[in-house]
Chains A and B, each alone.
Chain A
């Protein structure tokens, strides 16, 4: 298994290097000037030029890239142009918030999607499957900016049951913090949970049709035992692969949900940095996304391989 893991590392490092070049230079191709943004409206050329020098933006691009890469490798990705704070600090604060949101959403998606997917896949009552199929289709189809606004309208404006946005005291007061988390986590979990449910139900049905399951049925195995011991373990690997991809999409979806619910996470920070052309902060955030994506893919591959020896052997 370790050898299997080690074989993936050079490719991952190459991906990270290519991503760093792409992130740095593509961002510079986008029109807009962070110095002009920082100077605000009606600023003179002298002011913008002075700020550009202060930020080091007057240096050659290659030098800027190497300085940034050196900073990344030594654990100092620099300071945000607009927020005047160390990028590592900004990212870690926002990341914790996003992880809180994403974890909440992931738990809801896995638990909810798992239960619904199991019912859909194993139910012998066709209307239950159809109804749940319709609901999951709806959950996948409705964008989070629509469901988010609806949730706020129903639970915060019309009925003042939950806060409309913000992060609250977080862990300092978990009772309150959980209420701030509830709505955005549900909204974020809907498409992921529904996707998982649909994949799981399809995978369960496919597995039930396999010969070894049909043999078990023919031999009179109890349905619950059959599902627990044979169907679910064989239906799960493709769903776990999908879950890996969905985690990436969940983090991407967090950008919209964070904006709607004013949740100060990575998504909001990225949006703010892109709008303001805060190069260093945007670069740091995009690289973080690439690292997370690469790591999730490696972990997914490893878990797949651990669960299914055929994969391990095939990739040898």
Chain B
């Protein structure tokens, strides 16, 4: 490590003892260094990129946005289109052209010629239809199923042309075709169980060891000329963030996905590494309220809670300053983002106390649930507990395991407040209010069932993308109702060695190594 802290160096004697011990080990093991035997980082094309990530991939959730799959989604597979990071307009991937009818009900794709799957099979319109059918399967999750369910007809005009008919216009239609991986219909069942990965992406899965990681090799027949530059990628599951950091700093790996924010911040002073922030800003921490709990059924109490949270402190102390405070779910990239409303709820304890008094809720007890297995949640919980107490509530902090949290979140089973993060603030706004669990207008974790909200969500969904009137109305409603109080909008990070160049990612934060190389 070039910038190893001087005060971290060993004393002479200790170093000598350590060196002697290691020398004995090296001698015993034949004088070959395991550290030196890491795949070489060559400056031009070639080389094996070593990635560490905190959890194993989850093949059965490949059609949805799920963090552990961020590494393989774009390395092994492709989508029909990718969204431009600034305009959210679709750009060509496996589809080179598309034609959306004026009424928004018919979408005709022209597919890229000469694309093959890793097993050599040609990619055709049948695979597009097969991929949509896979996504629609009951046992296959996807946050954009609500879009796919509106497809009433799929016609393969020929091998390279496919026409889809929809029952309604949808502003987030192309979000689906960015998220949906194109899979080989013949092997999709084996894909969902992790037995066979047959994609069209720049790398082929050589070996997958469940729970441990994957070895990927370059797809020599990749459809993009000159890509990829790397010979391969090795993905290793390292569950502990601190161990991921050690792996990066010891030179064993080149890229760590989503280090815990405070671990990542330790790299800031080290010129050998960079913590790259995704421009998607698709991760927002929030405090949700179960509105069926009597205390939280009062809108004023929910607003008081929103005023009581010190968002700046959360941003700085928990997330290392990565992101921005927010009162709304949108990323700055979203068409619904409104700077004038983004920080509507300032940290204002006096106002919070007034609202609680008005609602006769001062001194009330409330359970606050969080997934204690995720480090930032613990820091967030401490601040929330302090802030709620300051405002005059009596919070009972309830740390639970991830599985319990997820189950309760899905079933709306929290009898109080709950804290976690949500995504989808970076795509077309309809995807959030129709697909993401905390905000889903049809069924959400807060038990917030409100016709006005459903109407507003449907207006955003069926209207034009970025319709200012619809999104303004939606924002005002969300700020008023506060069944979800957003706290900080942050982003996924890629902690990377400076010798790696050309890292890219999609709007869903799937890493793209088409042009990555060692330099």
Q: Is A244 an interface position by the 8 A CB rule?
A: no
The interface residues of chain A lying within 8 Å CB-to-CB of B34 are 162-163, 168, 176, 179-180
Number of A interface residues at 8 Å Cβ cutoff, please give it. 68
The interface residues of chain B lying within 8 Å CB-to-CB of A39 are 61, 141, 410
Q: Is A182 an interface position by the 8 A CB rule?
A: yes
Inter-chain contact B35/A48, CB cutoff 8 Å: no
| B-facing residues in A37-58 (Cβ within 8 Å) | 37-51, 54
Q: What residue of chain A has the Cβ atom nearest to residue B400's Cβ?
A: A31
Q: Is A295 an interface position by the 8 A CB rule?
A: no
The one of A38, A41, A168, A272 in contact with B56, judged by C-beta atoms closer than 8 angstroms, is A272
Known contacts being A165-B252, A179-B33, is A156 close to B246, with CB within 8 Å? yes
Inter-chain contact B401/A44, CB cutoff 8 Å: no
A160–B35 CA distance with the chains assembled, in angstroms: 7
| B-facing residues in A80-98 (Cβ within 8 Å) | 80, 82-85, 90, 93-94
Inter-chain contact A40/B141, CB cutoff 8 Å: yes
Q: What residue of chain A has the Cβ atom nearest to residue B140's Cβ?
A: A47
The interface residues of chain A lying within 8 Å CB-to-CB of B59 are 84
The one of B8, B56, B240 in contact with A260, judged by C-beta atoms closer than 8 angstroms, is B240
Shortest Cβ distance from residue B108 to the other chain A in the assembled complex, whole angstroms: 29
Q: What residue of chain A has the Cβ atom nearest to residue B34's Cβ?
A: A179
The interface residues of chain A lying within 8 Å CB-to-CB of B210 are 80, 83-85, 90
Most chain A CB neighbours (cut-off 10 Å) among B25, B193, B251: B25
A259–B239 CA distance with the chains assembled, in angstroms: 7
The interface residues of chain A lying within 8 Å CB-to-CB of B485 are none
The interface residues of chain B lying within 8 Å CB-to-CB of A93 are 209
Main secondary structure of the interface of B (DSSP, over half): loop
Inter-chain contact A164/B246, CB cutoff 8 Å: yes
The interface residues of chain A lying within 8 Å CB-to-CB of B236 are 166, 262
Q: Is B19 an interface position by the 8 A CB rule?
A: yes
Q: Is A110 an interface position by the 8 A CB rule?
A: no
Q: Mark A6-37, 1 if CB is under 8 A from B, else 0.
A: 00000000000000000000000011111011
Inter-chain contact B35/A161, CB cutoff 8 Å: yes
Inter-chain contact B28/A42, CB cutoff 8 Å: no
The interface residues of chain A lying within 8 Å CB-to-CB of B18 are 154-155, 159, 161
Q: Is B138 an interface position by the 8 A CB rule?
A: yes
Inter-chain contact A159/B10, CB cutoff 8 Å: yes
Q: Is B238 an interface position by the 8 A CB rule?
A: yes
A238–B4 CA distance with the chains assembled, in angstroms: 47
Shortest Cβ distance from residue A77 to the other chain B in the assembled complex, whole angstroms: 16
Q: What residue of chain A has the Cβ atom nearest to residue B63's Cβ?
A: A40
Q: Mark A248-265, 1 if CB is under 8 A from B, else 0.
A: 000000000001111010
Inter-chain contact A275/B410, CB cutoff 8 Å: no
Shortest Cβ distance from residue B329 to the other chain A in the assembled complex, whole angstroms: 14
A93–B212 CA distance with the chains assembled, in angstroms: 11
Inter-chain contact A154/B10, CB cutoff 8 Å: yes
Inter-chain contact B25/A182, CB cutoff 8 Å: yes
A136–B449 CA distance with the chains assembled, in angstroms: 62
The one of A43, A155, A276 in contact with B403, judged by C-beta atoms closer than 8 angstroms, is A276
Inter-chain contact B242/A48, CB cutoff 8 Å: no
Q: Is B44 an interface position by the 8 A CB rule?
A: no
The interface residues of chain B lying within 8 Å CB-to-CB of A30 are 404
Q: Is B29 an interface position by the 8 A CB rule?
A: yes
Inter-chain contact B246/A40, CB cutoff 8 Å: no
A168–B25 CA distance with the chains assembled, in angstroms: 15
Known contacts being A179-B26, A259-B240, is A163 close to B407, with CB within 8 Å? no
Shortest Cβ distance from residue A74 to the other chain B in the assembled complex, whole angstroms: 23
A57–B211 CA distance with the chains assembled, in angstroms: 23
Known contacts being A158-B9, A163-B252, is A43 close to B410, with CB within 8 Å? yes
Q: Is B389 an interface position by the 8 A CB rule?
A: no
The interface residues of chain A lying within 8 Å CB-to-CB of B443 are 44-45
Inter-chain contact A83/B32, CB cutoff 8 Å: no
Inter-chain contact A50/B437, CB cutoff 8 Å: no
A38–B59 CA distance with the chains assembled, in angstroms: 10
Inter-chain contact A275/B401, CB cutoff 8 Å: yes
The one of B9, B240, B250 in contact with A156, judged by C-beta atoms closer than 8 angstroms, is B250
The interface residues of chain B lying within 8 Å CB-to-CB of A94 are 211
Q: Mark B399-443, 1 if CB is under 8 A from A, else 0.
A: 011111011101000000000000100000000000111001001
A301–B407 CA distance with the chains assembled, in angstroms: 45
Inter-chain contact B26/A50, CB cutoff 8 Å: no
Inter-chain contact A262/B243, CB cutoff 8 Å: yes
A252–B145 CA distance with the chains assembled, in angstroms: 43
The interface residues of chain A lying within 8 Å CB-to-CB of B423 are 41
Inter-chain contact B406/A32, CB cutoff 8 Å: yes
Q: What residue of chain B has the Cβ atom nearest to residue A271's Cβ?
A: B239
A41–B406 CA distance with the chains assembled, in angstroms: 7
Inter-chain contact B250/A163, CB cutoff 8 Å: yes
Inter-chain contact A36/B22, CB cutoff 8 Å: no
The interface residues of chain A lying within 8 Å CB-to-CB of B404 are 30-32
The interface residues of chain B lying within 8 Å CB-to-CB of A154 are 10, 18
| A-facing residues in B126-154 (Cβ within 8 Å) | 137-141, 143, 145
Q: What residue of chain A has the Cβ atom nearest to residue B249's Cβ?
A: A157
Shortest Cβ distance from residue A253 to the other chain B in the assembled complex, whole angstroms: 15
Shortest Cβ distance from residue A57 to the other chain B in the assembled complex, whole angstroms: 12
Shortest Cβ distance from residue A188 to the other chain B in the assembled complex, whole angstroms: 15
The one of A37, A80, A157, A276 in contact with B246, judged by C-beta atoms closer than 8 angstroms, is A157
Inter-chain contact B251/A46, CB cutoff 8 Å: no
Known contacts being A47-B141, A161-B19, A275-B373, is A174 close to B29, with CB within 8 Å? yes
The interface residues of chain A lying within 8 Å CB-to-CB of B1 are 157-158, 160
Inter-chain contact A272/B15, CB cutoff 8 Å: no
| B-facing residues in A253-289 (Cβ within 8 Å) | 259-262, 264, 268-269, 271-272, 275-277
Q: Is B348 an interface position by the 8 A CB rule?
A: no
The interface residues of chain A lying within 8 Å CB-to-CB of B22 are 155, 161-162, 182
| A-facing residues in B464-499 (Cβ within 8 Å) | none
Shortest Cβ distance from residue B215 to the other chain A in the assembled complex, whole angstroms: 13
Shortest Cβ distance from residue A114 to the other chain B in the assembled complex, whole angstroms: 19
The one of B35, B239, B242 in contact with A268, judged by C-beta atoms closer than 8 angstroms, is B239
Known contacts being A160-B251, A161-B35, is A84 close to B9, with CB within 8 Å? no
A260–B246 CA distance with the chains assembled, in angstroms: 10
Q: What residue of chain A has the Cβ atom nearest to residue B143's Cβ?
A: A42
Q: What residue of chain A has the Cβ atom nearest to residue B244's Cβ?
A: A262
Known contacts being A156-B250, A164-B250, A268-B211, is A179 close to B8, with CB within 8 Å? no
Shortest Cβ distance from residue B123 to the other chain A in the assembled complex, whole angstroms: 25
A153–B401 CA distance with the chains assembled, in angstroms: 29
Inter-chain contact B239/A262, CB cutoff 8 Å: yes
Q: Is A178 an interface position by the 8 A CB rule?
A: yes
A-B contacts, 26 listed (Cβ < 8 Å): A30-B404, A31-B408, A32-B407, A37-B406, A38-B60, A40-B141, A41-B423, A42-B143, A43-B410, A45-B443, A54-B139, A84-B194, A84-B195, A90-B210, A94-B211, A158-B10, A162-B34, A163-B252, A164-B243, A174-B30, A176-B32, A179-B35, A180-B34, A264-B237, A275-B373, A275-B401
The 7 closest A-B pairs by CB, nearest first: A32-B403, A83-B210, A175-B30, A50-B138, A179-B34, A84-B193, A31-B404
